[in-house]
Structure 1
Amino acid sequence: MLTIDRTTYDGIIAHARRDHPDEACGVVAGPEGSDRPERLVEMVNAAGSPTFYEFDSTDLLTLYREMDDRDEEPVVVYHSHTATEAYPSRTDIGLAQEPNAHYVLVSTREHGNNDGPVEFRSYRIVDGTVTEEEVAVVDALPPRTP
């Protein structure tokens, strides 16, 4: 199960709406081994496409160095679908290289940039196997335990 705080959840949705009709993408970093999505990092879709996303390789390298310096890892890897449901495509499955990450998909197909409900779904993708998981949105994550 993915447990995510309301501010981060709302931030991911806002990013997806803002970038529509192109796909949005980003990462939520958290302390290594914690499964706590704490720091939202919006990325630029280098593909600039409504049907495909690609992290800019320089930005991604910078992010991984930053996470390494902060003892963080990618807890959530997210992107949006602008015309289809929030389910990983074959391409998405092939790009999933973080076995411990939650892969979040937001579909903006119904309302685009406008207010209105979106699909927000989370998956684990390991060795090409996709497993949907429950999402719990909380006001705040519980305090970290030492």
Structure 2
Amino acid sequence: MLTIRRDLVEAMVAHARRDHPDEACGVIAGADDGTDRPERFIPMLNAARSPTFYEFDSADLLKLYREMGANDEVPVVIYHSHTATEAYPSRTDVAYASEPFAHYVLVSTRDPEAHELRSYRIVDGVVTEEPVEVVESYEFAHPGQDDPPQE
């Protein structure tokens, strides 16, 4: 399951709407500590500038991975939009999915009045849809073992 803050969902949708009719893409990084919590929103440029395909600029991607490494972060969410189809990974999306622990989020902007947002795990070409829980804050998302002790 992907648990994600509402402000991050709104940022992805806004990016997708802003770049429409081209596909938008980006990453949401999180701490490399096993919490699997998306924290830092990083919109990227679709180097392909295409309504049917997205591609991260290789120099921007290298810079991002170096930055995440320096910050002890990992790509928790890798997102992009589909402008004319449902939010389901295409064959190309599956072929390029190279982060087995990332949540691959798709935002469909085909309907100008509403968006569709879905999340997937893509490992070795196998696509598995997962539930998405949108929360206001991670503090109250899953009280219990995930929360740091209060002092």
Tell me, yes or no, if structure 1 residue 85 matches structure 2 residue 77. Answer: no
Deviations 1:62-89 (A, max 9, x none): 0000000000000000000001100000
Tell me, yes or no, if structure 1 residue 145 matches structure 2 residue 148. Answer: yes
What letter corresponds to residue 26 of structure 1 in structure 2? G
Aligned residue number for residue 21 of structure 1: 21
Q: CA RMSD in A?
A: 1.1
What letter corresponds to residue 132 of structure 1 in structure 2? E
1:98, CA displacement in angstroms? Answer: 0.2
Distance in 1, Cα, partners of 2:66 & 2:7: 25
**Which secondary structure state, in structure 1, belongs to the residue aligned with residue 52 of structure 2?**
coil
Residue identity over aligned pairs, in percent, reads 68
Task: Give runs of aligned pairs for residues 1-146 of structure 1, distance below 5 A.
Answer: 1-32=1-32, 33-111=34-112, 116-142=113-139, 145=148
In our comparison, the structure showing a higher alpha carbon Rg is: 2
**Which secondary structure state, in structure 2, belongs to the residue aligned with residue 142 of structure 1?**
helix
**Which secondary structure state, in structure 2, belongs to the residue aligned with residue 64 of structure 1?**
helix
Distance in 1, Cα, partners of 2:138 & 2:125: 30
Distance in 2, Cα, partners of 1:36 & 1:135: 12
Runs of 4+ in 1 over 4 A off after TM superposition: none
Question: Which runs of 5 or more residues in structure 2 are unaligned?
Answer: 141-146
**Which secondary structure state, in structure 2, belongs to the residue aligned with residue 42 of structure 1?**
strand
Distance in 2, Cα, partners of 1:24 & 1:11: 11
1:142, CA displacement in angstroms? Answer: 2.0
Aligned residues: 142
Instruction: Tell me the TM-score normalized by structure 1.
Output: 0.94
Distance in 2, Cα, partners of 1:8 & 1:108: 16
What letter corresponds to residue 100 of structure 2 in structure 1? P
Distance in 2, Cα, partners of 1:72 & 1:34: 11
